[in-house]
Amino acid sequence: MPYDEALRRDLIAHFRAEHPTDYLFTSTTRKSITGGISVRGVQYIVRTTSLRAGLTKKVCPHTLRHCFAVQYLNHGGNLIRLKQLLGHAHFSTTFRYLSYASPELKDIPSPLSFLFGA
């Protein structure tokens, strides 16, 4: 999954401090059946974080997934790789994100660039 250097440093620090074995993030309040954070736990974290940030629009985990997909495409991400990252079984599901994306076409090299020695 693509991420920036700051997130990479934070994840490494978390990994070194917590020494996770099965899950990168575990539940601290009550154990789920699997030991990882439950679905409700993730929903709670997203909801409380968005409220603390002062967001007025309702935010759920799927909102973050959608925003990631659109931003990934806007920054030149590959549609095939996005399908893999999101775990979609069919391209038709991934193609839906194209209607929300608006990548900068100026950054995409022309297939005819070789004619001009670029």
pLDDT tens, residue by residue, 71-103: 999 888 889 999 999 999 999 999 999 888 887
pTM greater than the 0.75 cutoff: no
Tokens, residue 83: 């399908």
CB atoms within 10 A of CB 108: 9
Q: Where do the domains of the chain lie? A: 56-102
Q: What does the pLDDT look like over 30-73, one tens digit per residue?
A: 655 666 788 888 899 999 999 999 999 999 999 999 999 999 99
